[in-house]
């Protein structure tokens, strides 16, 4: 495969499209704790998935430039339903409950997992799933299970490293290479890795550009 490198002008234009998209209103539209509560499929959707406490809600807030749009917490298991946000009437952002929250009851874990998996597999307007991975810890088995499920469902997904402010540059480079190699082996994985920090805003502009490209491909 021949990879065409974008020019600096292309990158600047893509970032500008990202900035403009996220400068528009973003509103909470629905929260669903049960499958029969999912909102009707409308706008194209992008979902933020990943282990509990990896930083999904914080990243939604960093992207939209709003501190409390999605609720965050130091305690894993904060997001207990699928939260849908309408961005500029162009795209729906979906903040998912985390996988593998060990302190919840087995029944609660099973019911969240079932809810999230059923949503991920069966949503025709879901155009990409961002699988968030803690830059300090790398890919875990629970992430691999989700990746395999999405491979079978033929839903495209992409890795996003979170909390990159907690790693050294050397560690981050190593982690990026590991995650890239792992994702390359999966049919539905999109190859590029996005490195972010909701705290320092590292990578947020580029992430917005990626999302703007999904909302309106150039």
The site for Mg ion (CB under 5 A) is made up of 56-57, 78-79
Least spacing, CB of residue 82 vs ligand GTP, in Å: 11
Least spacing, CB of residue 45 vs Mg ion, in Å: 17
Closest residue to ligand GTP, based on beta-carbon distance: 98
62 within 8 A of 132, measured Cβ to Cβ: no
Least spacing, CB of residue 45 vs ligand GTP, in Å: 17
Helix 8-22 with 204-215: angle, nearest 10 deg: 80
For Mg ion, give the closer residue by CB, 86 or 95.
95
Distance CA 14, CA 194 (A): 15
Residues of this chain that bind ligand GTP (CB under 6 A): 52-58, 72-74, 76-79, 97-98, 162-163, 165-166, 197-199
58 binds, among ligand GTP, Mg ion, none (CB under 5 to 8 A by kind): ligand GTP
Distance CA 45, CA 207 (A): 15
For residue 33, which of 104, 82, 105, 106 has the smallest C-alpha distance? 82
The full DSSP string for 57-84 is: HHHHHHHHT-SSSS---SSS----SEEE
For ligand GTP, give the closer residue by CB, 17 or 135.
135
175 binds, among Mg ion, ligand GTP, none (CB under 5 to 8 A by kind): none
């Amino acid at each position: 495969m021949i990879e065409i490198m974008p020019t600096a002008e292309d990158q600047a234009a893509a970032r500008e499209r990202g900035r403009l998209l996220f400068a528009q209103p973003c509103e909470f539209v629905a929260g669903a704790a049960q499958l029969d509560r999912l909102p009707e499929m409308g706008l194209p959707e992008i979902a933020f998935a990943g282990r509990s406490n990896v930083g999904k809600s914080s990243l939604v807030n960093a992207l939209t430039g709003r501190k409390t749009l999605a609720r965050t917490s130091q305690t894993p298991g904060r997001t207990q339903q699928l939260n849908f946000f309408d961005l500029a009437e162009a795209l729906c952002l979906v903040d998912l409950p985390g996988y593998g929250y060990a302190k919840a009851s087995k029944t609660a874990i099973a019911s969240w997992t079932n809810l999230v998996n059923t949503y991920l597999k069966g949503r025709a307007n879901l155009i990409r799933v961002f699988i968030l991975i803690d830059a300090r810890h790398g890919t875990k088995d629970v992430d691999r299970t989700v990746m395999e499920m999405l491979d079978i469902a033929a839903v495209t997904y992409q890795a996003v490293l979170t909390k990159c402010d907690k790693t050294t540059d050397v560690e981050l480079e190593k982690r990026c290479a590991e995650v890239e190699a792992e994702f390359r082996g999966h049919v539905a994985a999109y190859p590029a890795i996005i490195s972010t920090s909701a705290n320092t805003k590292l990578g947020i502009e580029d992430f917005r550009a990626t999302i703007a490209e999904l909302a309106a491909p150039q």
